[in-house]
Amino acid sequence: MSSSPDMSAAIMRSPIGVIALMRVKLQALRNRVSQAISDSPIKFLATVGLLGVVWVGLYLLFVAVFMFLKQSRMEAAIAIPMVFSFFFVAMLVMLTVSNAIIAYTSLFAVEEAMYLLSAPVPPRAYVWLKYVETLIFSSWSLVLLGLPLMFAMAEANPEAVGYYYVFFISFFICFVPIPGAAGLVLAWAIARFLDRNVRRRLIITAVLVLAVVVVWTIQSVTAQEAASEQWLTGFLLRISFVQSALLPSSWVVRGVEAAIESQTHLALCYLGVTVANAMFLSVLAVRLVSWKFMSAFDRALSSRGGERSTAASPAVGLAGKVFFYLPHGQRLIAAKDLRTFFRDPIQWTQLVVLFGLMTLYLVNVPKLSGAKPLEGWGMVIPFLNFGALSFILATFTSRFVFPLVSLEGQQLWLIGMLPLSSWQILVSKFAFAMTVSTFVAFSTTVLAVIMLKMPIAWAVLQVTVTVATCFGLCGFAVGIGARLPMFEQRNAARIANGFGGTVNLVASVMLVLTMLTGMGAVGFHNRMRGFDEALDAPTLMIAAAMIVLALGGGLTAMVVGARHLRRAEI
């Protein structure tokens, strides 16, 4: 019996705990994949098929961009490395934020943490486990974008040899832990040192700074003269920092360029630098986080408890004032959903990252085309902007808006005490979804219109169609969520991945594709008639049909959902 503490201490110091936890997680992952394939084979095949379509589309887009830039040898020598560097800097920022969100949630905001921390496993093993999970969950987007980019670069550079692919994949894999380590430390610092009020002030400050930067950038860009050479010079000067030798993204870019040019020794040098820094930063981050992990966990746990105990009436404060146009009972529900949205960093931070990257693109990319607002690339870019924005909104509504009705399953009796009908409850949910989606979509679309200097008539058309798309997507998410609810499920992700979530996602994608078809028809018709700034009768008819379709589809879904919800209550 006296040797038992020594044996426990040996186990605590050994990597057995990490290996055991990872084996359990891998087995759980295999079980989930097998269950998903056996329960919903059609959904699994559809997901794989859609990923293939996305990969092919991205590949064709990257090839078109590289070929367009290579039309001028001098511009290609400057622009292609700059675009590549800009891509990896954006991925560095996005992966850092994404890793911080996932790490904070997995380390401090799940019930599994309390269970595992009570097991005979040291905190360092738990941190290692969650760090590896974070890298896996946050890096899928890099893989989604990286593989088409790899093949597109090989297509644009026929001199690339076979081992270029090995170097490219190696750089991608070794690049991911660098922002992952930064995100892990950031999540730990937020839990350890920042309480709820400080986090709120920092978020507000960051939003204001971002708004100031965007406004300043718009003014600086629009103040440039029409000559594309002058604009390009100013653009390259503004983003020259992305090629700094101190940035990890620069090591990846230069290593891949060396691999393309068959400079194996130089590519190996940059790969070694990337691997060494990834390993060093990972070990340093895990040791730092596990050093004071329990105190950070206690702070995060007490902060969540404080939020629940100090929750005020949702009709009080800014959340209630946003929905001033709703009656009091409906305002309670809508404001409650809005507060829940902002208290969950997984929801609003993902939306901020996606639209932040799109804003960054809108500020810098469209001017490179040098085309007039309604000619050539000037006509294609609004179409691509609308498509990207619509698919982001479809993802947001399917993931975060659709589960809203199902999550009320345990509290339907409480909501039923309000003097509200099922239709009024759905209108409250719809008001919340429409407020969030319209705010980000409207601001992004207006920014695109300003950057492209679109004529007033075409700008109004773009904004109106975008708002109508928001209406349809939110109506689908709320209505189908009420028609096909999962009241017994408390996990929002599982609700979104269920049968009803699949139906909603398919309906949303079909709506987006239909709206894109209409926008494509408008652009093609405008090209055929000679790029006129005025809107003719066929253009107005197509736009009216798109708007009626989006509004009618959203309203129909909500009516059907309200009827089913009323019968379910009875």
Domain count, the chain: 2
pLDDT in tens, 251-280: 888 888 888 888 888 989 999 999 999 999
- Residues 505, 378 share a domain: yes
Q: How many CB atoms lie within 10 A of CB 512?
A: 21
Structural domain range at position 332: 322-336+365-570
| 480 and 540 fall within a common domain | yes
In a domain, 466, yes or no: yes
Domain contains 548: yes
- Is the per-residue pLDDT at 231 higher than 70? no
Same domain, 239 and 331: no
Task: Categorize the per-residue pLDDT at 519 as very low, low, confident or very high, splitting at 50, 70 and 90.
Answer: confident
Do 286 and 326 fall within a single domain?
Answer: no
Q: Does residue 420 sit in the same domain as residue 288? A: no
**pLDDT confidence band for 14 (50 / 70 / 90):** very low
**Whether 250 and 328 share a structural domain:** no
Would residue 194 count as lying in a domain? no
d(CA 14, CA 121): 10
Mark whether 282 and 420 lie in a shared domain: no
CA angle 139, 469, 533 (to 5 degrees): 110
Block residue for tokens 């199902």: 406
* 274 and 332 both lie in a single domain: no
Q: What is the pLDDT of residue 27?
A: 81
Report the range of poorest mean pLDDT among 222-226, 284-288, 473-477: 222-226
284 & 407 share domain: no
CB 387 within 8 A of CB 516: yes
| In a shared domain, residues 282 and 370 | no
Compare 348 and 88 and report the one with higher pLDDT: 88
Looking at residue 281, its pLDDT comes to 92
The whole-number average pLDDT for the span 531-557 is 87
| Average pLDDT of the chain, as a whole number | 75
Least confident of 37-41, 375-379, 416-420, 462-466: 375-379
Residue 411 forms part of a structural domain: yes
Q: For residues 350 and 363, give the distance between their C-alpha atoms in angstroms, rounded to a whole number.
A: 20
188/353 Cα distance (integer angstroms): 20
The C-alpha atoms of residue 82 and residue 365 are separated, in whole angstroms, by 12
The whole-number pLDDT of residue 411 equals 66
Regarding whether 326 and 278 lie in a shared domain, the answer is no
Q: What does the alpha-carbon distance between residue 467 and residue 473 come to, in Å, rounded to a whole number?
A: 10
The proportion of the chain whose per-residue pLDDT surpasses 70, expressed as a percent, equals 67
Q: Is there a domain that residue 26 lies in?
A: yes
Q: pTM score, two decimals?
A: 0.66
Judgement on whether residues 407 and 522 belong to the same structural domain of the protein? yes
Residue 301 falls within a domain, yes or no?
A: no
Question: 304 in a domain, yes or no?
Answer: no
* Range list of β-strands (E), 122-196: none
Q: What is the pLDDT of residues 271-326, one digit of tens each?
A: 999 999 999 999 999 999 888 888 888 877 776 554 444 444 444 456 667 787 88
In whole angstroms, how far apart are CA 232 and each of 82, 85, 228? 12, 16, 6
Q: Is residue 193 in some structural domain?
A: no
